[in-house]
Every structure is written in structure tokens, then in C-alpha cells.
A and B are shown apart, each in its own frame.
Chain A
Amino acid sequence: MSLKNSSSEKEIPSARLFPLAIETISAGFPSPAEDYIELGIDLNKYLIKNPISTFFLRVSGNSMNNAGIYNNDLLIIDRSINPHPGHIVVALLDGEFTLKRLVKKENSYYLKADKENYPAINLYEYINVEIWGVATYSIHDIQKSKS
């Protein structure tokens, strides 16, 4: 079993970030910054509003590039959100998770890829479609995808 590169080891769960209690070190003048210690930026808090209903999926394919979602992105889905037109949703289609935009046109709902020449799926014709959740963020690794 090979270890991954050392930078990956630095990853610390956010719950473990805590400020050191500087006060107990009794040396001279107390730090003026002491009253301003913050917990640091917690991405969990920022990206996940509802941990109970949040799930992650890995994006495979490029049909949503125009929506800013790329192959291999880490997609955050919050199932507690009610899907509305304009939302990017994960749908169950032919036994797969499929990523599309929910569109409303002339009182019909469609699932559409954010790319030209992709046929839209009319939700009234396709009875077996279920919307699994609403995508909230896509995390894109800028360095890896450079090539």
C-alpha cells in the first residue's frame, strides 16, 4: 500500500481546528489579538446548510460544462431543497444518476443538459424519472484538471 503524497496528510477535519488557549502561558504582556481569535473558515459550514440531507456524488462527463460543472468534480447535493425550474438536479434515469437542469417551458417540465444539441427530456412523457436531489455546489480541482 503506497502512501499518497505528503500534502494529503495535512488534511485535518474541521472539527479539530481549535484555537490554543494563549492565556495560560504566563509570559509578559497578553497578546492583543487574544480577544479576536476566530475558529478559521469552516468549509463544511459554508457549503453544507443541511448536513442531514446532504450527499456527495462524483461527476462523470462534460454535458454540464456550461453550468460550470466539469468531469470529476465533487458535487454536493441537498435533498431537502424542493426542485424548481433553473435548479441543477440529479435525476434517476434508466438506473443511473443523471445530472441535468430542470427547465419549465409552456407549463411542461423538462430535464436539459447545459449544452447545445442535447435533447431535453419531457417529464410528462418520461414517467419513470425521479428527481433525487438538488445540486448546490460543485467542487472543482483546478490543478488536476489543467491538462
Chain B
Amino acid sequence: MSKAIIQIDGNNFYASCEQMIDPSIKGKALVILSNNDGCIIARSSEARKIGIPMGEPYFKLEKKLKKLNINVRSSNYELYGDISNRLMQILRKNCEELEIYSIDEAFGMIRRPKDKCLYKWSTSLRSLVYQNLGIAISIGIGETKVLSKISNHIAKKTKENSGVFDIGLIDNKDYYLRQIKVEKVWGVGKRMSGWLKDKGINNAKELRDMSSNQIIEKYGVVALRIQDELKGKLCIPIKEASPTRKEICVSRSFSYPIDSIEELREAISKYILIASLKLREYNQLSSAITVFTTTNIRSKDYFKSKATGKFNIATSDSRIMLRKSLDLTEKIFKPYKKLIKAGVILHKLQSNEYKQNLLFKEGDTKEGVYLEKLDKIIDRINKKNKRDSLGWGLYTIGKDWIPSRKRVSFFKTTMIEHIPSVFAK
């Protein structure tokens, strides 16, 4: 009981980020669209109240949104990423352990004080985050991850909890667990919840109290851990993020299906350049690369393929990566297939620091040193101006491989050219 798991997430995170940096939409109804402006993936609380549904395709609602005067934005991942990063830094400072679970969600561990009560700590963390970043968070507390998730859910649902709930301090725990539908329990998938409902298990309390043997028989020990966590036994520990990432994946859906190798080559090379830029930004090297592509999963002749190649020496050189990825592209291409998505993964990442120390060692060719410099110069120019100001000959500039973001807000907290104005009128 002395240690508590906390689950923290941003309320309407994408919408909150937009509203924080753009006063003209603060307190107003706002929806955020997915890549390619496909679906509604986030809503401000004002849009939620009006009843705009989540996940709905944009084209279906376009007229209605206009009529209701609801603001629409494409996803501005540069902005969300920056605010997320700042949020996680605040959380890390305030928790003993922290696992970043997604862009707006984290699990943390904290020791309970003598009186066990973490409400004061939680409310001050909430106001700290609001003051520093201008976004609201919810905090759920429990003995386990599964319970802290449930707490967070309750914190959001009930106004009186003002964004904080601690199921560990509650006497009538069963009352709350009964409110949680079984499919809302963290880790319970669609199939499992169907099976549970057939058995008459409808809420979290019933799941906690059912026979474990039945669960093990059907879904094994992994599912048993969910039940144990509901009972308050910590089974799924906090996984602190490894300091360096192990792979980089860049993949996109095309704005229309393609079936020629030229187009696939263009797409893949574009993604490689994006991925290798990330690699250099993180100061890492990659020693293997995978390219993949797929048709629509629902199409009759569903097709997917991938190919992997290794580098002799770990590299971040976009020229070397381009060459390798183009060889691999020949392998994954098949004529007459309507491809709707492709991507690249850089694996086996390692830090570049070791290599950097040996930058001028013998055997390092002059060309290699120059190429590394060249990449850095290109990166810098592209950063200063616009992505794609300079690139490597193969791919045409500005085609449709980058998802369209027609309504993306101009504002970014990460680029001096995109900061908002403050008026001194």
C-alpha cells in the first residue's frame, strides 16, 4: 500500500495544445483531423458537448461542422510533440519512476505519504502542469496499472473529482468497479470482452471476482494478470523508457493508390530521407533497414511485402541508406498491385558518440567525413527554410507522399518562423 501507481493523461490533448497556443480558438469548439485530414481524432470539450462524434470521417461532417461554426485543424504533430515532451519532463521530475505510454499518457510510481493521501500532491501537480503548459491533465491513482487506469477514467467522468481520483483510498471500491464496463478495463480486447459478456461478466468487479481458472484456460496467464491487477496485485511493472530509441519507423498512407515502381521508389526515398534526418537528430546510427508496402487490407487480392537489408558499417548517411532502400524497393514491388501504404524502418540503432570521438581516426576516408558534413548542411538548410528545400536527386519535390494537412495551424512552439504574435496595440 505504500507505493502507488499513477496514470496521467492530457485532457483532449491535441485540442488543448492548439487552444493553448492560439487564443482565437480558446474555449471554442474545435476538432482535430488525422493524417490526410481523414477522420476526427480529437475534440475540444466544447465540441464534445455539442455531440461531435470521435473517429467519424471528416467528409461526412464537413458541412455540419461549418454550419455549427466549429473550428477544424489538421494534426500539428510538431506542436503536440513539443508540448508532450515538456509534459513528460515535468512528470519525470515529480514521479519516482515514469513510463511514457503514448504522446499524452504516462504511468508513474510514487510512494504514499504517512497519511496515504495523494490528493494534495495530485492537485498541485495538475496546477503545476497547467501553469507551465496551459493544458489540463487527469490523474488516476491505484495499486496497479489496471486500477490506476480505472481511477483516471472516473476522475474524468465525475466533475466533483476535479481531475483526480484515487481508488486505493476508497472504501466502496466495488461500487466504482461495478461502474466500469468490462471492455473499458485496460488490456481487455474486443474478443475477450465478447467472451466475458457471454459468460455474464459485464463489469470490472465481476471480472475481478470470476474464477481465474476459466481465464487461464481461455486466454492464458497474460489475461490472468489483468484480473490480478484488479485485485490490487502489481503484475505489470512500470517500464522506464530506454534512454535511446531502438528503431525509427516512417510510414504513410498514400493520398491515392499507386501501382508503378517509380512512384513506390519516390515514396520510399522520401521516407528514408525523413527517417535518416531523425536518426541524425538523435545522433544515432543504423545498421539495418526494412522497407515495406501493402494494399488495402480489405481488397480481394490483399498483398503485402517487406524486405530487410544490412549495412556493413552502421551509418546515418542518407546517400548510403537511399541506395540500399532502392535495392530493397525492387524486391518488395509487384506489378498491378494497388498499393496504399509504404514505409521504412531503421533498426539496430546505436549511439553515434563513439564514432564521433574517432572522427579523425586513420582509415576514415575524407569522403566519409565530407558526406557527413554534407548531410548536416542539408539538414540545416531544410530546417531553416522548409523541408525539401534541398534533397537528393531521386524523388520529386512536393508530391503527394507527405499526407495532406490543409488545415494545419500555422503555430508551432518549435520554429521561430511559426510563433504566434502578441499584440502591443
Contact residues of A with B, CB < 8 Å? 1, 3-4, 8-9, 11, 50, 52-53, 55-64, 69, 71, 74-75, 79-80, 90, 92, 95-99, 113, 132
Contact = CB atoms under 8 A, between A and B. Distances in A.
Contact of A99 (B384, B389, B413, B422): B422
Given A4-B384, A79-B132, A56 B23 contact: no
Contact of B131 (A59, A61, A80): A80
Contacts, number: 85
B381 A113 contact: no
B419 interface: yes
B385 A97 contact: no
Given A9-B380, A79-B133, A132-B134, A60 B423 contact: yes
20 contacts: A1-B386, A50-B132, A52-B86, A52-B89, A52-B90, A55-B21, A58-B420, A60-B422, A60-B423, A60-B424, A60-B425, A64-B424, A71-B424, A74-B416, A79-B131, A92-B26, A96-B24, A96-B423, A98-B423, A98-B425
A9 B421 CA distance: 25
Nearest first, the 10 A-B pairs at minimum CB distance are A61-B424, A53-B132, A97-B422, A57-B422, A63-B424, A95-B24, A64-B424, A60-B421, A99-B424, A61-B425
Contact of B133 (A53, A56, A62, A96): A53
A61 B423 contact: yes
A98 B385 contact: no
Interface string B115-149: 00000000000000001111000000000000000
Contacts of A8: 384
A70 to B, nearest CB: 9
Which DSSP category, helix, strand, loop or mixed, fits chain A's interface?
mixed
B424 A59 contact: yes
A29 to B, nearest CB: 22
B379 to A, nearest CB: 11
Nearest to B389: A1
B127 to A, nearest CB: 11
A64 B425 CA distance: 8
Contacts of B419: 55-58
A132 B381 CA distance: 33
A57 B418 CA distance: 9
